[in-house]
Amino acid sequence: MGQCMSAGRHHELILGGQKSGKTVRAERAVARWLEQDPARRALYLATALPWDAEMQERIARHQQDRAQRVPRMETLQAGGRGELLDVPALLREHAAPDVALVLDCLTLWLTQQLMPLEVEEGAGELAAPAPPAGAIADTPVQVEAPHQACNASSAVPGHRVAAATADLLEAIQAWPGPLYIVSNEIGLGVIPLGRETRAFVDALGELNQRVAAVCSHVTLMAAGLPLTLKSSERKDLP
């Protein structure tokens, strides 16, 4: 496991299941930070794609709720016709000590690297990929978006995913202000039946480990309650 590269800065990975309180924790932390200085700014990078009516409604609801909870936080949202956020580029573009950032979430970012969605010609919505063969409903992979599985023979080669991950980790380590990264912990259930689903669970688990290694803090959320897994103040951790 690598050394923490963000010593002296609060870089926190927040893990948990669906509706565990991950995003709320990040938003509350940013809201407290903003209250300390009116000149401070905050950004929210939302990786979810509004690829159908239900997701559009969900995203709109989240944006409204977030505007009430943290009025001074600006949201950068992935687009409705497949425009993905270039997260590493945005981290480099907005890097400043007086800017806090929430990345929500790693799960969808990884999904988009492994299994990019396509826009149908002339359609107003994204074309959803077919469910992976062997996948079952309510598998651990179906977290905050449907069909979150990867295929080893994806059109996006593995080396490109590795390059994207390396780019992301470099940008995370270079971020000079507070940083909160939300991701799902989906490896606590039984081993999924589908090969593609198992591959995605493995890939996200490995990504979470690599991000945790470069963050000063790691928190696991359950029922709205935080469990500290790693803290820069603790000396008993590798």
Q: What is the mean pLDDT of residues 121-138?
A: 40
Cβ burial of 170 (10 Å; 0-12, 13-18, 19+) is: middle
- Establish if 182 belongs to a structural domain: yes
Catalytic hit among 62, 94, 147, 159:
62
Domain assignment present for residue 237? The answer is no
238 domain-assigned: no
In terms of Cα–Cα distance, which of 76, 106, 84, 85 is closest to 182?
Answer: 106
Q: In this structure, is residue 236 part of a structural domain?
A: no
User: What does the DSSP assignment read for 5-50?
Assistant: S-TTS-EEEEEESTTSSHHHHHHHHHHHHHHT-TT-EEEEEE----
Domain containing residue 23: CATH number? 3.40.50.300
Residue closest to 116 by CA, chosen among 82, 143, 88:
82
Establish if 73 belongs to a structural domain: yes
pLDDT by residue (tens digit) across 78-120? 875 667 899 999 999 999 999 999 999 999 999 989 876 554 4
32 part of a folded domain: yes
- Which comes out higher in pLDDT, residue 215 or 128? 215
pLDDT at 83: 76
The verdict on residue 54 lying in a domain is: yes
Q: Which domain covers residue 87, as residue numbers?
A: 11-230
5, part of any domain:
no
Clarify whether 62 is annotated catalytic.
yes
* CB neighbourhood size of 97 (10 A): 11
pTM over 0.75: yes
What is the pLDDT, as a whole number, of residue 138? 31
The number of domains in the chain is 1
